[in-house]
Structure 1
Amino acid sequence: MASGLGRGNGAAAASVQLGLWTGDAIADRFWKFYGEETSTRAITRLQFLEHVGYLLFLKLDHERAQRAGRFAQQPVAPVDAWPNLALLSGDALHTGLTTLFDELGDQQLSDRPDRQTASVVFRDAQPWDLDRMAELNKLIVEQIDPYRWLAVPQAELGRAFSRMLRDCRKEIDSKIETGQTLTPLPVLNAITKVLGVGPEDIVIDPACGTGTTLIAAYHAMLAANRQLPPAALAGADLDAQMCRLAMLNILLHTGRPFADPAPVRLADTLKRKTPVVRSGSGAVPTVAICNPPFKSNGVQPDATMRDDFWAYGDFPTNFLQHLAITLPQGARAAVFVPDGVLSGGGAAATVRQNLLRNCDVHTLLRLPTGLFHRKGVKSNVLFFTKSTPKPSGEPATRHLWVYDARTGNHHTDTGNPVTEADFDDFVASCLPEEGFAARTESKRFRRYSVAEILASPKTSLLLKAHLTKELGDFGSPKEIAFEVADRLDEAAAHFRQVAEALPGQ
């Protein structure tokens, strides 16, 4: 049976079986092309994926403009940009792409507000080197142009892009300078369930990376409502490449019009007294999910701009307090933090004390070790609700429930990845059928009173729930070696800063 996925420029219908257009099948087709038709030494997997994203954006933009009557959408790219591109090769293709990327990536949008989304996707975009144009032309004319991509089920197109992002995790994790990492989807799905994310929510992530958190929230919202407002998702990141990938991730999952306001911004959100940079939508966030960079070095927030901060600490400490301070009353949040944020002194201790007093910090999830690719840092998720300060001065938090998914569990993203089932007991423990008040203790789930926590040294939140002794789990020798390498890279960066500050003589 033919799929009806006709050739994009009006040629005879392509005889493609429906089974070939699942998310995994689409990803496999592209990776097969990458392995067999490109110079993998000259073009990285991430560079290849970016170009697949660019080309799908341009092809879909053209297809939407070709739809009949009221279903047609005004293209954000120049008219006939795609048909003309499909006819180019060699120097002409390189020049054409460079010109098109520059035009769409232009950040001066006063006369083209419809290109806000395109400006994020194509910002600083560069085509492959001139000697790779034969490969790029083949990608265009064999893998993209022949097919009508609007006929591909939206869920499968988004699933394909997410799968390809996961396949690039090594390159994403290697971006040590910005602390990027991919968050496993089973963890995010459990988080959206505990937060009760629904279609009425406005979900933000001030350090969105590739947008995985926002995609998980989107699927949770979509389960109850087929139509979501354009402002339902908002993210920001310091890394232009991550913003590009996050934008493409959202566009290919949601099918939102390319002329809509951009849901992702390139911005340093720690310098803003708002939860995430937005563009005049007026939407008030109700949910925040954030897995910030776990790194201690880097630019600190400008004290003159953030006089609302309780203290100035490392990146995860600052993102935690950023959300606790800027979210509106009643907003729910889940923030990933390393063990150091739960037990460290100084700024971390000050933030914990204020967090307990100003928010209902109701749940702490201690994640399994080895969860993040080649990261040796132990991670947790703090769940809280922004609360109204009590006139009595009592802390907004009454009890903190700690779920230990760490003891006895070690996962890696390749050999032993986490699954949805790994978090079923956590979700059931947090959300019993009788309601939140019916939570009961178990060997992995324990309740601590806020008085008990505040009385502990440094108000430590490094709390255990498991009744057995927690064994040290340092991961495999390879993971340990990568962790040592990361630490050496950070140390080298610090020494470089010191050397640059020394006088020339």
Structure 2
Amino acid sequence: MRAVTKIEFAEHIAYLLFLKLDHERANRQSKFAARPVAPSVDTWPHIVERGGEDLHGYLTRTMRTLGAPSPDNQRRTTASVLFHDAQPWNIDRMSELRQLITEEINPYHWAQVPHTELGQAFAQLLSDCYDDMLKKRETGQFLTPLPLLTVVAKALALTPDDRVIDPAGGIGSTLIAAHRQMASHGTKVDDSAIAGADIDPQMCRLATMNVLLNTRRLFAGIPPMQRSDSLSRKAVAIQRQDRDVAATVALCNPPFKSTDLAVDTTHRSDFWAKKADLPTNFLQHIAVTLPEDARAAVFVPDTVLFGKGAAAEVRLKLLHNCDVHTLLRLPTGIFRGTNSKANILFFTKPAPRPSGEAATRTLWVYDARTGNHRAGTVNPLTEDDLADFLSAYRPDDPDHSHRTPSRSFKPYAVADLLARPDTSLDLWADLGDDLQDLGSPRDIAASIVTELNSASSSFQAVVDALDSSM
């Protein structure tokens, strides 16, 4: 029998937790009870009492019902994303699935677990699937460190009034970081405040449950994720049941590489350049579709900063049409198991200037890379590592007029940028000459041999929390 992968295990935890929590909420005291999203209020008890082929058949039918498109049943729109194409484990492994149901899921009252603990445990479960994520090269999946996303959300100065989108949502980490920053203001965050999309149905399933557990969203509410090819659409909007909501912020770490065939964007008459690679296409997609006054933070590999052809054309248009005010050069090694060298471009979308002059005035470059290599779990990136960047960025200074140059933070006038060959943005501060630091051989070796904990062991933290609270 084929072994169950960590990512398949995580998916089934998502399915079972959704059904168990749905059952618990439907069986609360009458005034707190909610209508079940599952086919009936007895769906979970029927799952618990079955085994073997009977369990496989019942779960298959339940998943097919919940995963079907539901234009006439708005309560199931979120479930339709989570259970899209979902299937139980191979029928030969039903004894293991039944053991998971009866011993690890059914005995506990999951609705009593604080959502912060449950959400963090599920996010940890997904992080333990890192190796499986790296194998998904067809869609270019990898995990973005949450401390980094937290810092970016703070730099964007998000408030509950913002509407944040991620057109390449992955497992939903960007949306969770955005939601936490918005919620830190003490005001309720509306369900329409965050929305993401991804072309990979498995990522959409995992992201849906990840966001649900980390934001306490209703299972019968607006789906936080949708499965779609973002590059095929000309609009960037948050999908609601009644209307679309224009985004005020885009926070996106798109695929840097993919084994899929190049996306056909010939129909995108709004694009500045054709035949661009994936990260360049996502950058121009966000830039051309965001409404006026919207702001963005987009991850890009080094090649987008200095590549010729389509990349050069997009850089030129970006400087003219957007206020590209900050470039953060990230440490190497933060995306464990890859050789990606990443950066973040921060920009806003002002109204077009009648004079035709470039919207960008000054691009500030913060160098967090030189001499700073990360080796996965050995010395992972923390929020404290980027505290100086956040202080230099100054989220409280929206027009960036009070920034101060330093060895790590250097301004470049737009006239100088436009005069560079191919409008290259391969820019640095003044930290030193060693711009290709990859860390010591020992650090690199340590990052390779570090083993992940099993996915099931990370879930033990939740079980322990339950035991102590019951």
TM-score by length of 1: 0.84
Residue 413 of structure 1 and its aligned partner are, at CA, apart by 2.1
User: Are 2:402 and 1:438 aligned?
Assistant: yes
Aligned equivalent of 1:166: 127
Letter in 1 for 2:345: L
Letter in 1 for 2:85: D
> Is residue 353–residue 359 contact of structure 2 (8 Å, CA) maintained in 1?
yes
Residue 336 of structure 1 and its aligned partner are, at CA, apart by 0.4
Aligned equivalent of 2:278: 315
Aligned equivalent of 1:344: 307
> Is residue 375–residue 444 contact of structure 2 (8 Å, CA) maintained in 1?
no
- Provide the rounded CA distance (Å) in 2 between the counterparts of 1:261 and 1:191: 25
Aligned equivalent of 1:248: 209
Q: Is the partner of 1:351 in helix, strand or coil? A: helix
Aligned equivalent of 2:27: 66
Name which structure has the greater RCO, CA cutoff 8 Å, separation 6+: 2
> Is residue 139–residue 258 contact of structure 2 (8 Å, CA) maintained in 1?
no
Residue 129 of structure 1 and its aligned partner are, at CA, apart by 1.3
Aligned equivalent of 1:450: 414
For residue 470 of structure 1, the aligned residue among 426, 429, 434 is: 434
Letter in 2 for 1:307: S
> Is residue 338–residue 379 contact of structure 1 (8 Å, CA) maintained in 2?
yes
- Provide the rounded CA distance (Å) in 2 between the counterparts of 1:147 and 1:75: 19
Structure 2 unmatched ranges of 5 or more: 449-470
- Provide the rounded CA distance (Å) in 2 between the counterparts of 1:100 and 1:434: 52
- Which whole-Å deviations, capped at 9, do the CAs of 1:243-265 have from their partners, x for residues lacking one? 00000001111221111121211
- Provide the rounded CA distance (Å) in 1 between the counterparts of 2:154 and 2:71: 40
For residue 98 of structure 1, the aligned residue among 51, 60, 81 is: 60
User: Are 2:232 and 1:286 aligned?
Assistant: no
- Provide the rounded CA distance (Å) in 2 between the counterparts of 1:85 and 1:242: 25
- Provide the rounded CA distance (Å) in 1 between the counterparts of 2:238 and 2:185: 27
User: Are 2:145 and 1:180 aligned?
Assistant: no
Aligned residues: CA RMSD: 2.0
Residue 303 of structure 1 and its aligned partner are, at CA, apart by 4.2
User: Are 2:161 and 1:200 aligned?
Assistant: yes
Q: Equivalences for 1:80-479 in 2 at 5 Å?
A: 80-107=42-69, 109-276=70-237, 278-279=239-240, 280-295=242-257, 298-312=260-274, 313-431=276-394, 436-474=400-438
- Which whole-Å deviations, capped at 9, do the CAs of 1:328-360 have from their partners, x for residues lacking one? 001110000011000011100110011011111
- Provide the rounded CA distance (Å) in 2 between the counterparts of 1:257 and 1:433: 33
Residue 199 of structure 1 and its aligned partner are, at CA, apart by 1.1
> Is residue 308–residue 325 contact of structure 1 (8 Å, CA) maintained in 2?
yes
Residue 478 of structure 1 and its aligned partner are, at CA, apart by 10
% identical aligned pairs: 54
- Provide the rounded CA distance (Å) in 2 between the counterparts of 1:391 and 1:226: 39
> Is residue 300–residue 344 contact of structure 2 (8 Å, CA) maintained in 1?
yes
Closer/same/farther in 2, CA of residues 434 and 100 from structure 1, 3 Å limit: closer
Q: Is the partner of 2:372 in helix, strand or coil? A: coil
- Provide the rounded CA distance (Å) in 1 between the counterparts of 2:237 and 2:83: 21
Residue 282 of structure 1 and its aligned partner are, at CA, apart by 2.7
Letter in 2 for 1:104: L
Q: Is the partner of 1:437 in helix, strand or coil? A: coil
Aligned residues: 442
> Is residue 332–residue 384 contact of structure 1 (8 Å, CA) maintained in 2?
yes
- Provide the rounded CA distance (Å) in 2 between the counterparts of 1:111 and 1:342: 46
Closer/same/farther in 2, CA of residues 479 and 126 from structure 1, 3 Å limit: farther
> Is residue 139–residue 259 contact of structure 2 (8 Å, CA) maintained in 1?
no
TM-score by length of 2: 0.90
> Is residue 236–residue 276 contact of structure 1 (8 Å, CA) maintained in 2?
no
Residue 278 of structure 1 and its aligned partner are, at CA, apart by 2.3
- Which whole-Å deviations, capped at 9, do the CAs of 1:349-386 have from their partners, x for residues lacking one? 11001101111100000000111011112110000001
- Provide the rounded CA distance (Å) in 2 between the counterparts of 1:83 and 1:303: 48
- Provide the rounded CA distance (Å) in 2 between the counterparts of 1:457 and 1:211: 37
